[in-house]
Structure formats: C-alpha cells, structure tokens
C-alpha cells in the first residue's frame, strides 16, 4: 500500500501564476482533504472532496479550487498566486464515515517568488 | 467553533526524561481526538487517537487520555529518546456528518538531547 502520494514535492512559482497540486489517496479511502501549513504553524483546512464534490470548505478565497476524480484522486488549484500562498500543502485521505483519523501525504512545498 | 489549544514550545529534554505536552479543546458534540507527529521535511504521521471520553490512545510509548470533564488530551511519555525529536500536533475531528475535517493546534517542537 503506497499510502497517500502527492506530487510534485517542491515547486517554485512566480506571483500571479497558477499552480496545480495532485494527490492520490490511500487505497480504500473515499475522501480527500487539503490543508495549508505555513511555516511554524499547524495545518489549516482548505476543503474536502467526497464523491467528486466539494463537501466542506474552510476560510480560503475562491482562488483556491479543487477537483476529485472518479478514482478518488484529487487536485488543488490556486490562481493568481500571492507571496503569502507559500506553504506546505498537505493532502489527507480518509473514509467519510470513519473515525480512524486521516492519513497524510508528504506534502508539496510551494514557494511563491 | 471547534478549536485546539496546545502548549507552546519549543521543549528541550534530556534523553530518558518524562514528557508532557498539554492540549485542550473546544468542540460541539463529541469529537475524536488525535496526536500527529511531523519529522523535519515530512508530512504528518498519526501517533495515537481516542474516539470517546475516557479512552486512552497509546503508541510507541506515548499515551493520551480523552478527558471530557477537563476538555483535555495531554500527551505523555515516560522516557523520551533522541529519535522522538519532532513537532507534535494535537487535533480534533468533529461529527461524522461534517466529514473528517481536522482542527489542529499550532504544534509543539520537541528536541531530545543525549
């Protein structure tokens, strides 16, 4: 079992550009959540996808959007990048009705210059 | 809203010392509680969890008990090792009908010196 895999691991983008991050959930999981972790902070919830729909959303602007595919994999898109978007982006997979917690990927380190 | 308050670090201990990292929470309903650990340059790893009051989660010598009366979930280990050096996050996950959204504390950095 490969667990949760994210790509790419590191990314450098210029302010104003757009970026797409990808996530494959742990085998058997049906729910994907995305988190932003700024340096020295705890992860902040961006949104969650289940059955290819956004199920919940945190306090993030519309520049942040996502998608879930029929195979449960997911993408996070960020438009009009700001310097403040520089962070570690974590994908977490889980079961929608499970209490077992979420499994996190290694994250994508995004640097906006 | 739901939230987690975690003891601020950094914490520096000598090997074999006793560890406590305090965590308190605010939540509606009956959340599940978790401790995650993050090693440098890596994602989060689930360390232990408890899904109802008075449950004790344990793993790799770490323990935490879900205390509803004090809304706490303090992490403890009797004898820390150098390999335990990492950042520890307390988290809660709410009702199942809200999915598995996690609310994290700000993290506590632990350094264990030989």
Residue B100 is encoded by which pair of tokens? Answer: 């598995």
- Distances, alpha carbon A81 to alpha carbons A12, A78, A110, B76, B77, in Å: 11, 7, 10, 41, 42
Picking from B100, B101, B102, B108 by the largest number of A CB atoms within 10 A of its own CB, the best residue to mutate is: B100
* Closest to B74 (Cα-Cα) out of B7, B29, B3: B7
User: Given this model, what pLDDT does residue B99 score?
Assistant: 57
Chain A residue with minimum CA distance to B105: A42
Nearest-CA distance from B18 to chain A in Å? Answer: 24
User: Given this model, what pLDDT does residue A40 score?
Assistant: 87
Could you identify the residue written with the tokens 């932003």? A36
Does position A32 have pLDDT exceeding 80, yes or no? Answer: yes
Strand, coil or helix: A60:
coil
Strand, coil or helix: A10:
strand
Residues 6+ apart with CB under 8 A from A86: A38, A110, A111, A112
- Integer Cα distance of B35 and B92 in angstroms: 9
- Integer Cα distance of B21 and B24 in angstroms: 10
Q: What is the pLDDT of residues A44-97, one digit of tens each?
A: 999 999 999 998 899 999 999 999 999 999 999 999 999 999 999 999 998 776
Instruction: List residues in chain A touching B: CB distance below 8 A.
Output: 4, 6, 31, 33, 35, 40-45, 48, 50, 55-56, 58, 90, 92, 94-107
CA angle centred on A91, ends A10 and A36, rounded to 5°: 70
User: Given this model, what pLDDT does residue A84 score?
Assistant: 97
Nearest-CA distance from A20 to chain B in Å? Answer: 19
| Tens digit of pLDDT at every position of chain B (114 positions) | 889 999 888 999 999 999 999 999 998 888 889 999 999 888 899 999 998 899 999 999 999 999 999 999 999 999 999 999 999 999 998 755 555 688 999 999 999 999
- Integer Cα distance of A99 and B66 in angstroms: 15
Residue A56 is encoded by which pair of tokens? Answer: 């919940």
User: Given this model, what pLDDT does residue B100 score?
Assistant: 66
Name the β-bridge partners of B67: B72
- Integer Cα distance of B54 and B73 in angstroms: 10
Q: Are B27 and B81 in contact (CB under 8 A)?
A: no
Does position A106 have pLDDT exceeding 60, yes or no? Answer: yes
A102 contact residues in B (CB cutoff 8 A): 46, 93, 100, 102
The 3-state secondary structure of chain B reads CCEEEECCCCEEEECCCCEEECEEEECCCCCEEEEEEECCCCCEEEEEEECCCCCEEEECCEEEECECCCCECCEEECCCCHHHCEEEEEEEECCHHHCCCEEECCCEEEEEEC
User: Given this model, what pLDDT does residue A102 score?
Assistant: 84
More confident residue, B51 or A1: B51
Give how far the C-alpha of residue B96 lies from the chain's centroid of Cα atoms, to the nearest Å: 20
Picking from A38, A42, A45 by the largest number of B CB atoms within 10 A of its own CB, the best residue to mutate is: A42
Interface of B with A in 51-90 (CB under 8 A): 51, 89
């Amino acid at each position: 079992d490969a667990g949760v895999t994210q790509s790419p691991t590191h990314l450098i983008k210029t302010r104003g550009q757009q970026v797409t991050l990808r996530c494959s959930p742990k085998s058997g999981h049906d729910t994907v959540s995305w988190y932003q972790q700024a340096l020295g902070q705890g992860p902040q919830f961006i949104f969650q996808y289940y059955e290819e729909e956004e199920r919940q959303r945190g306090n993030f602007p519309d520049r942040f959007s996502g998608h879930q595919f029929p195979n449960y994999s997911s993408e996070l898109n960020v438009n009009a990048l700001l310097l403040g978007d520089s962070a570690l982006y974590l994908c977490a997979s889980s079961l929608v009705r499970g209490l077992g917690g979420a499994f996190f990927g290694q994250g994508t380190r995004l640097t906006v210059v | 809203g739901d939230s987690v308050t975690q003891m601020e670090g950094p914490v520096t201990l000598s090997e074999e010392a006793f560890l406590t990292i305090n965590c308190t929470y605010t939540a509606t309903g009956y959340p599940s509680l978790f401790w995650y650990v993050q090693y440098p340059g890596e994602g989060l790893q689930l360390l232990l969890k408890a899904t109802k009051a008075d449950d004790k989660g344990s793993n790799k010598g770490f323990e935490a008990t879900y205390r509803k009366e004090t809304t706490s979930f303090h992490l403890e280990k009797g004898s820390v090792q150098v390999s335990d050096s990492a950042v520890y996050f307390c988290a809660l996950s709410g009702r199942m009908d809200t999915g598995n959204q996690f609310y994290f504390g700000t993290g506590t950095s632990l350094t264990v010196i030989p």
